[in-house]
Structure 1
Amino acid sequence: MEFTFLGTGAGVPSTKRNVSSTALRLDSGEVWLFDCGEATQHQILTSTITLSKVTAIFITHLHGDHIFGLPGILGSRSFQGGETELKIYGPKGLARFINTAIEISGTHLRYPLRMIEVEDGFQVQESDMDIKVALLEHGIDSFGYRIEEADKIGSLNVEKLKSLGVQPGPVYQKFKKGESITLESGNKVHASEVIGPPIKGRHIVYCGDTRFLEKTISFATNADLLIHEATFSSEKSSLAFEYYHSTTKEAAQIAKTANVKKLLLNHISSRYQEVDMEELLCEAKAVFENTEIVKDHMTVHLPLTKPSSS
């Protein structure tokens, strides 16, 4: 599982940061997009993402820097031969925006498009992921998405199987399914004897634009990864509140209190140049050490956490 950041800026694009979009590549090869600002498809052209692999798009809110890239993405996915269903989740009004853009532009889609408008507390399952939605605070409805991967079956103890006389082959899959096997000797081997403890699924929280919010803490509790906006530096906290955004320090405080493992700061205002990034990062790391500021075309891998051996 890995994230590729296609746009990490706030409001308007700059020469270093495009507006909001993030791609999540699942272990299955499917790709999910989170937000789709203007020029997202251009960013995809210089990445390893393939539009035909995009099966779901999650929109946090309906400000232009998060949705103006959608019509182009939808059309290009069709032009490039995409035929599988595409689902788009987002706030009320999203379907009207998409339908209007498609109708007026005369865009023909070769694939089925399903649009699901979400609200606070909405839940759905996609593949082996439970997706939960929370309303944040941004002037217009803006949502956070929590993705909870199902736990995976533990690893086979191959050495123990061999010691019992069970050689590699299709029989190993039976153990993976929890079945018991009777050997030629008459001895029975139970799956529980040769399979390690379950591997915990990964939990990720992706927040749309929002003020600092206590609610986000409970929503992000114990997540492996929190992706949170940090539009302003801590000295601009009054401005952040006025414009319904968060500061670096506020995002770090959420990560610390929520006991997340890693924090990625996103949605950086264009007022800050590359020379300012170290200071912004220091502000956050003073509160929560395991923090990074993402940049366009950065890829972050999120491996499974293997259970510790007893």
Structure 2
Amino acid sequence: MDFVFLGTGAGVPAKGRNVTSIALQLLEERGAVWLFDCGEATQHQILSTPVKPRKIEKIFITHLHGDHIFGLPGFLGSRSFQGGTSELIIYGPKGISEFIHTSLRMSETHLKYPLKVIEIEEGIVFEDHQFTVEAKLLEHALPTYGFRITEQDRPGMLKAEKLREDGISPGPLYRKLKQGETVHLEDGRILNGADYLDEPQKGRIITILGDTRLCENAAILAKNADYLVHEATFAAEEERMAHDYWHSTTRQAAFTAKKAGAQNLILTHISSRYTNEAAKQLLIEAKEIFPRTMIAEDLMMVKILLNPQERKQSE
């Protein structure tokens, strides 16, 4: 599982930052990619990354401002030409269906794959045996959602060393024990798979927020998250402007991460007024409150590690 930041800017494209889009690659987990927002030129950004459009199975739209949706019609059409044949499902606020279908109809764009559009409300918007996606309304000029992606816990690692100590050589039995099955040996012994498994591996929690003022629902969605992706359109000193324009500052994002008990914070949706040099100051502001903060850059990739050992080794 990893992030690919396709666009990290706010409002309009800039030389250093395209408008908002984030790919959550779930290649090892389900051989697929989920996209969060699809600002103008998202498909151009994808060309410079390992992301494969045909692998994108779901798109989650936070809200209907143009810098979050203007890339959709072009991407949907191009996906047909790039080998996409599997169903694509789009989740978004009321009005997203009209925007998509009107754009496709007026441009006579004909898709070669099934397209399903689901207009969401607060609550669980998707759930299967691997992931649950919950949406909550944030505080913005338009109805805007944040998403909490929770991975189901995984079975514990097989205690291979203990099996070897008990005289069980690697082979098909290992797979059955890994699945928690009971195995009967030729010597009469009965092995319970549960006795040879470590504690279940805790599933990861990812929170991706749309544009928002400082609000309670942001902290609820980010509770104990491994990663919180939070907009930081303005510097700390621009708190009044952030409020007037329904956005957040660096420190407000950091405050939310701290309050929620998140492990890591990634700032995005950076105003074009801040150059790369100015962005360093934005990072300092946030780190004063929440040290485990980074600022997203276009085309940046972040590996989302599975267990504490992996996380410790990466530090």
TM-score (norm 1): 0.97
* Corresponding residue number in structure 2 for 1:219: 221
- Cα distance, 1:165 vs structure 2: 2.2
Q: Tell me if structure 1 keeps the 8 A contact 2:124–2:132.
A: no
Instruction: Rate the CA distance shift 1:303–1:44 in 2: closer, same or farther, 3 A.
Output: same
Instruction: Rate the CA distance shift 1:231–1:121 in 2: closer, same or farther, 3 A.
Output: same
Q: Distance in 2 between matches of 1:88 and 1:5?
A: 19
What SS class does the counterpart of residue 123 from structure 2 fall into?
A: coil
Question: Which deviations, in whole Å up to 9, do the C-alpha atoms of 1:67-113 show, x marking residues without a partner?
Answer: 00000110011111211000000000000000001101111111100
User: Does residue 157 of structure 1 match 2:159?
Assistant: yes
* Corresponding residue number in structure 2 for 1:10: 10
Question: Which deviations, in whole Å up to 9, do the C-alpha atoms of 1:189-247 show, x marking residues without a partner?
Answer: 11121111100000000000000002211221101100000000010000000000000
* Corresponding residue number in structure 2 for 1:25: 25
Q: Distance in 2 between matches of 1:67 and 1:149?
A: 26
Q: Tell me if structure 2 keeps the 8 A contact 1:198–1:307.
A: no
What SS class does the counterpart of residue 265 from structure 1 fall into?
A: strand
Q: Distance in 1 between matches of 2:79 and 2:33?
A: 13
Of 279-288 and 26-35, more deviation after overlay is shown by 26-35
Question: Which deviations, in whole Å up to 9, do the C-alpha atoms of 1:99-144 show, x marking residues without a partner?
Answer: 0011011111111001111112243215610000000011110000
Which of residues 115, 127, 131 is equivalent to 1:129? Answer: 131
* Corresponding residue number in structure 2 for 1:234: 236
What SS class does the counterpart of residue 269 from structure 1 fall into?
A: coil
Q: Distance in 1 between matches of 2:156 and 2:174?
A: 13
Q: Tell me if structure 2 keeps the 8 A contact 1:132–1:145.
A: yes
- Residue type matched to 2:122 in 1? D
Q: Distance in 2 between matches of 1:216 and 1:41?
A: 28
1:62-77 mapped onto 2 (5 Å cutoff): 62-77=64-79
Which of residues 76, 88, 95 is equivalent to 2:97? Answer: 95
* Corresponding residue number in structure 1 for 2:193: 191
What SS class does the counterpart of residue 221 from structure 1 fall into?
A: coil
- Cα distance, 1:25 vs structure 2: 0.5
- Structure 1 runs, 4 residues or longer, greater than 4 Å off: none
Q: Tell me if structure 2 keeps the 8 A contact 1:154–1:198.
A: yes
Q: Distance in 2 between matches of 1:65 and 1:103?
A: 21
Which of residues 277, 297, 301 is equivalent to 1:275? Answer: 277
Q: Distance in 2 between matches of 1:200 and 1:307?
A: 12
User: Does residue 288 of structure 1 match 2:314?
Assistant: no
Which of residues 174, 197, 207 is equivalent to 1:172? Answer: 174
- Residue type matched to 1:50 in 2? K
**Runs of 5+ unmatched residues, structure 2:** 311-315
Q: Distance in 2 between matches of 1:127 and 1:67?
A: 29
**Runs of 5+ unmatched residues, structure 1:** none
Which of residues 74, 77, 86 is equivalent to 2:88? Answer: 86
User: Does residue 246 of structure 1 match 2:244?
Assistant: no
Q: Distance in 2 between matches of 1:307 and 1:195?
A: 17
What SS class does the counterpart of residue 106 from structure 2 fall into?
A: helix
Of 295-304 and 21-30, more deviation after overlay is shown by 21-30
- Cα distance, 1:177 vs structure 2: 1.9
1:115-126 mapped onto 2 (5 Å cutoff): 115-126=117-128
Which of residues 19, 38, 41 is equivalent to 2:40? Answer: 38
Q: Tell me if structure 1 keeps the 8 A contact 2:56–2:88.
A: yes
What SS class does the counterpart of residue 134 from structure 1 fall into?
A: strand
TM-score (norm 2): 0.96
Q: Tell me if structure 2 keeps the 8 A contact 1:135–1:144.
A: yes
User: Alignment identity in percent?
Assistant: 52
Of 120-129 and 90-99, more deviation after overlay is shown by 120-129
- Residue type matched to 1:241 in 2? H
- Residue type matched to 1:52 in 2? R
* Corresponding residue number in structure 2 for 1:55: 57
- Cα distance, 1:307 vs structure 2: 7.3
* Corresponding residue number in structure 1 for 2:313: none
Q: Distance in 2 between matches of 1:219 and 1:37?
A: 23
What SS class does the counterpart of residue 130 from structure 1 fall into?
A: strand
